[in-house]
C-alpha cells in the first residue's frame, strides 16, 4: 500500500491524498461504510459502487470469525470473493467488540477471553490469532489488536491499558512479518493509538506507534463517552506526532460535524455506523440539516427527499412517501435512508477534498458545520 500526500490546506491541517492498494485507489479524505458482517446493512454491492461510490468498506474480525467462520471465508478465497466487493476493504481487529462485551470477557497478557454473543461459546483472541484471522479474511488493511478503554477510564487504568495495547502491537507486528497474504496480494497493518483522554498518554502512544513505520496509523478509543471537545483535543495532540506521509484513520467517528472537524485536524479516513443505523431509525443527514422522517411535518411534503442530493434515491422518492414507508414499517424505508445517508457522507468527504484542493476549505467548512448541525 502507498500513500501520496497531494494537497494541504493553508489555514488548517486538512489534507488531500491518494491511497493505492491491491484492490484500487482511495481518494482522501474518505468515509468508509461499515460492513460488519461483510454486508453494509440494507445496501447492495452495486449500490455501494454505482450510487454511493464507496471506495472502501469495512468488515469486522470478531463478527466474521464467529459467522460465517474462517473455514467458509478461506474456502471462498477471502472476503472480497465471498461478498463480491472488488474494491479495497479494511478489517477492524475486534478489539472494540471485545471491549463492548465487558460482562462476558476477561483480559490478560496473553489476550482476551470472551463468550460469543450468539451462542455463549468461549473463545480467546491473542494478537497472533487476530493476525491469522485477518490474513484469512484477506482485507487490504488489517488493524492491530488493541484494548479500547472506556472514555471515562481513570488515569491508572488508561495507562495500564495503553501498555497492554503496545505489547500486543509488537506481537501483532511480529506475526504479521512472519506470515504472508493467502490470496496473492499484499496486505497492510495499521497500529492504533490509545491513551484515553490523557494528553501525556496520547503523546506516548502516538510516539510508540509512529516509531513502528507502518503503512498507516489509526487513532482509537475516541467517541466512547468522552466530551467531544476532549476528542478534538486528543486528535490534535496525536496528529502532531503521527507521520504526515502516512494516512491517519480516526476509528468509529462520527457525525458529519465530527468528520469535518477531524479533517480540519489532519485525519484522512473515517468510519461509523451512524449513517446506516440512524437512517434505519428515520434520521436523514442532508446538505441543509437533519431530517426526522417520522415527523408529521413531512406527511404532505411531495418535494424530493433532497433536491440536489448525492444519491439517485434523493430525487426518485418524495419526503411524504418516505415518511409513509417508515410509518408502515416497510423495509424499503430503511434501505432508502441508508443509501441516502451513505451517499451524503461520501459526498461530504469528497467536497472537503475538493475545497482543500481549491484552497477554501476553512471557509467552506465553517458554513457546512452550521448546516449539518441544524435540525429541520
Active-site residue numbers?
A: 92, 271
Closest CA to 193 of 177, 212, 179: 212
Q: Which residue has the cell 486528543?
A: 234
Is residue 13 exposed (0-12), middle (13-18) or buried (19+ Cβ within 10 Å)? Answer: middle
CB neighbours (10 Å) of residue 121?
A: 9
Contact, 230 vs 196, CB < 8 A? no
Residues paired with 34 in a beta bridge: 58
Sheet of 188-190, strand order: 57-60, 89-92, 141-143, 188-190
CA angle 45, 46, 47 (to 5 degrees): 90
| Residue 21 to residue 281: CA distance in whole angstroms | 34
Q: Which residue has the cell 434520521?
A: 283
Residues paired with 193 in a beta bridge: 219
Contact, 285 vs 31, CB < 8 A? no
Amino acid at each position: 500500500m502507498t500513500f501520496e500526500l497531494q494537497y494541504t490546506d493553508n489555514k488548517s491541517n486538512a489534507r488531500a491524498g491518494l491511497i493505492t492498494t491491491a484492490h484500487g485507489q482511495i481518494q482522501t479524505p474518505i468515509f468508509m461504510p461499515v460492513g460488519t458482517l461483510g454486508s453494509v446493512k440494507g445496501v447492495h454491492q452495486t449500490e455501494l459502487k454505482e450510487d454511493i461510490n464507496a471506495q472502501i468498506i469495512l468488515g469486522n474480525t470478531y463478527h466474521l470469525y464467529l459467522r460465517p467462520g474462517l473455514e467458509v471465508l478461506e474456502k471462498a478465497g477471502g472476503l472480497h470473493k465471498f461478498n463480491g466487493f472488488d474494491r479495497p476493504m479494511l478489517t477492524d481487529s475486534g478489539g472494540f467488540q471485545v471491549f463492548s462485551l465487558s460482562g462476558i470477557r476477561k483480559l490478560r497478557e496473553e489476550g482476551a477471553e470472551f463468550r460469543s454473543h450468539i451462542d455463549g461459546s468461549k473463545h480467546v483472541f491473542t494478537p497472533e490469532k487476530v493476525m491469522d484471522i485477518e490474513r484469512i479474511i484477506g482485507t487490504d488493511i488489517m488493524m492491530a489488536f488493541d484494548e479500547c478503554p472506556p472514555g471515562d477510564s481513570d488515569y491508572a487504568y488508561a495507562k495500564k491499558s495503553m501498555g497492554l495495547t503496545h505489547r500486543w502491537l509488537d506481537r501483532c507486528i511480529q506475526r504479521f512479518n512472519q506470515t504472508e497474504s493467502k490470496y496473492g496480494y499484499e496486505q497492510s497493518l495499521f497500529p492504533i493509538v490509545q491513551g484515553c483522554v490523557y494528553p501525556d498518554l496520547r503523546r506516548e502512544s502516538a510516539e510508540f506507534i509512529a516509531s513502528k513505520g507502518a503503512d498507516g496509523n489509526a487513532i482509537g478509543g475516541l467517541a466512547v463517552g468522552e466530551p467531544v471537545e476532549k476528542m478534538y483535543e486528543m486528535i490534535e495532540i496525536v496528529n502532531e506526532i503521527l507521520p504526515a506521509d502516512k494516512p491517519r484513520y480516526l476509528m468509529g467517528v462520527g457525525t458529519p460535524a465530527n468528520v469535518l472537524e477531524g479533517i480540519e485536524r489532519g485525519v484522512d479516513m473515517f468510519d461509523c455506523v451512524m449513517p446506516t443505523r440512524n437512517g434505519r431509525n428515520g434520521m436523514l443527514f442532508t446538505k441543509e440539516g437533519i431530517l426526522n422522517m417520522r415527523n408529521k411535518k413531512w406527511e404532505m411534503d411531495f418535494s424530493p427527499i433532497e433536491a440536489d442530493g448525492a444519491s439517485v434515491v434523493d430525487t426518485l422518492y418524495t419526503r411524504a412517501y418516505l415518511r409513509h414507508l417508515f410509518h408502515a414499517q416497510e423495509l424499503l424505508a430503511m434501505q432508502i435512508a441508508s443509501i441516502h445517508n451513505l451517499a451524503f457522507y461520501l459526498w461530504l468527504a469528497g467536497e472537503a477534498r475538493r475545497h482543500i484542493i481549491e484552497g477554501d476549505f476553512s471557509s467552506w467548512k465553517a458554513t457546512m458545520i452550521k448546516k449539518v448541525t441544524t435540525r429541520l
